[in-house]
Amino acid sequence: MLTSGFDSDEIRFPSTRSGFTLGVGEVKVVSFDGTYLRTAGIRGRVSAEGEGLDSVKVNLSGGEDNANLTMATDSAGHYAFSRLRAGDYVVAISDYGTGDYGFEADSQHVTVALRETATVDFEGIPLRTSSITGLVSVDGVGLQRVRVVLSGTVEARRGRRRTASTTSGVCRRVTTRLRSRASTRTPTPSRRPARM
């Protein structure tokens, strides 16, 4: 009978008992063949348009022992959980800048067997991809330091963004998830045209 000398959280034996009869002068070899339980793994990458995202929080939950593990992605967006038991798990990501990146799903279910490593990737898209460029001018001459106000729906909330024209009258604003209702308004010029 096996009773000690092994960690039951790490190794499982189909049986810890063996019955036999031993006669006088006989030698009997009794073997117990166990299985290491923590041989599974889950790894993957969190990226947007092929570029890995650094420091994204990755949470792993589930399995036979109800694991709840958390780690952050490395500089290339990779993560890896090892020494897992076989079973069903949920991999979830967070802290990736929800205003900067969008993912079709931020959690996935996966099943791993003993001695298996599953790959669970998350591929997102960058959301800050719009920009507005314009020129504030009078009679073709650019005005400088004119305030330009951008109004519209930004990231599902109404808001305004301000920028100022440069010395040549050019104004530019990189926006965040600009929706189609956005418009620009230029206040009535109150400054003299820029000198050439």
Residue range 128-138, pLDDT digits in tens: 766 777 778 88
Percent of the chain that is helix, strand, coil (3-state, to 5): 0, 45, 55
Residue 1 identity (one-letter amino acid): M
pTM: 0.59
Domain ranges of the chain: 36-126, 131-185
Query: Is the model's pLDDT at 91 over the cut of 90?
Result: yes
151 versus 41: the higher-pLDDT residue is 41
Closest CA to 89 of 57, 121, 122, 67: 67
Q: 2-16, 74-88, 149-163, 172-186: which has the minimum mean pLDDT?
A: 172-186
CA 143 to CA 165: how far, in whole Å?
Answer: 7
CATH class of the domain whose range is 36-126:
mainly beta
- For 161-174, b where at least 16 C-beta lie within 10 A, e where not — what string? bebebbeebebebe
Question: Which of the two residues, 7 and 123, has the higher pLDDT score?
Answer: 123
Q: Are strands 170-174 and 131-135 parallel, antiparallel or unpaired?
A: antiparallel
**pLDDT number for residue 86:** 92
Mean pLDDT across the chain: 77
Other C-beta atoms closer than 10 Å to the C-beta of 27 total 5
